[in-house]
Amino acid sequence: MDTLFWFRRDLRLFSNEALIQALNNGAKHAIFFVSEKQWQQHQAAPIQIDLLKRRVTYLQSQLADYGITLHIIEAPSFSDCTRELINFCKANDVKHVIANTEYELNEVNRDKAILHECDELSITFTLYEGDLIAPAGSVKNQSNEMYKVFTPFKRAWLKQYQDTHFSLPQWPLTSEPIKFDESDLLKSDGCSDKWPVDDETLSTVVDNFICDKLTSYDDQRDIPSVKGTSGLSPYLALGIVSTKQLLINIQQRYPDILTTSKSKTFTWINELVWREFYRHLIAEFPKLSRGDNFNEKYNAVVWRKSESDFKAWCEGRTGYPLVDAAMLQLKQTGWMHNRLRMVVASFLTKHLLIDWRKGERFFMQHLIDGDLASNNGGWQWAASTGCDAQPYFRVFNPIRQSERFDPTGKFIRKYLPELENVPDKHINFPHTYLAATGKDKECYWPAIVDHKAARERALAAFKV
């Protein structure tokens, strides 16, 4: 054995340049480490780990059809990954290891340790930029610094992409089946079963979104009661779907999409660029992986330590129906609508004045699409502590958000059936109506904070 491919959060065969390069180098073996202890330390949600394990099982089978053996090895922590990788290379005469880059601090430190060990043994360790369209650190301003505002980053990113005209390498192998034994390390609860992991189904999902939903995405993406989003975020988080492939597929259908950035069709592309922005930030500023505020002036904010309020938020018992329904959606499905992520994050950090890090951790513990860069970026944006975040004086009114995006309570009633009989005009904040009908205590819990008072408290805290 000469060349080995190491799967990480790039769990795909096609549109995987690093894997295809390994195969072109003659690789017949790949490796994946099951790192339960490390996943727990990173707060990975059980539903996401289940999806990951199901996908690796699928990959093992698919690779076997092409004559490639995927070795599943237990390595509880990243230090174990280093040791197990080196041992595998020694035992199998591996001279070249190929993988895709990961940008978070612990992963970067792991790779530095591996590179040192490989150098000692004259093993080549090559990393590709498989998770980004524009390589980390390649989009800089005229001072050769990372952009700290999204819009100029987007302009530079678009220009760089338009000037590159990249294409993806073709799959180099034909079928050459081998036998494989499914690893016991990949046994799981099956709690992610509603999310398919096979390429055929995922290809259909992608095509349907691009052909049928992309043009209506701008109009429907903020409405939680309809399936107006792509539903691809769990697959992007684990590298099951390639961002480069998505962009190429979209351009094939809409050739001018990148030159019409103000069109509704571009709106979803804009979200992809935000994803790139947060990854460039996490690579450039290691402090984000440590949970530091990006904007250090907000280190002076004194967060409240109310465990009862935090518990009420976690359990969906704040007394604000849209917030509560969103939190119940997260707990019951492992996913939350993007508009609602902003609403509940604003509520925790502004209405309850509770540290954004607690919300960030809770999301990671429950989200099937949990991803440090995007999750950290989203939370710091909502808390006004992040890079190009919303200004501190912008406090989402959860009642107004409900009136705008769930006016008839269709989404609210799905997760709060106790409010089924509340009239539409009262569904967004039913307390006065329920008190008048004598059902306030038996039907729905009281609001834990008054919006106006909470907003004033938040403004005072952030003005420091």
Measured in degrees and rounded to the nearest 5, phi and psi for residue 199 equal -65, -35
**Distance separating alpha carbons of residues 296 and 312, to the nearest angstrom:** 29
Contact criterion met (CB below 8 Å) for 428 and 437: no
DSSP string, 290-326: GT--SSGGGGG---B--HHHHHHHHHT-SS-HHHHHH
Active site residue 303: yes
357: Cβ contacts below 8 Å, ≥ 6 apart: 291, 379
**Distance separating alpha carbons of residues 402 and 307, to the nearest angstrom:** 26
Active site residue 157: no
How would you classify the pairing of strands 29-34 and 124-128?
unpaired
| Catalytic option among 268, 313, 356, 381 | 356
**Distance separating alpha carbons of residues 434 and 431, to the nearest angstrom:** 5
**Distance separating alpha carbons of residues 284 and 295, to the nearest angstrom:** 14
**Distance separating alpha carbons of residues 82 and 404, to the nearest angstrom:** 51
Residue-wise burial string across 358-373, b where 16 or more C-beta atoms lie within 10 A, e elsewhere: bbbebbbbbbbbbbbb
| Catalytic option among 39, 117, 171, 271 | 271
Active site residue 271: yes
**Distance separating alpha carbons of residues 447 and 432, to the nearest angstrom:** 11
Active site residue 171: no
| Catalytic option among 157, 274, 313, 335 | 274
| Catalytic option among 338, 403, 418, 445 | 338
| Catalytic option among 284, 303, 403, 445 | 303
Active site residues: 271, 274, 303, 338, 356, 379
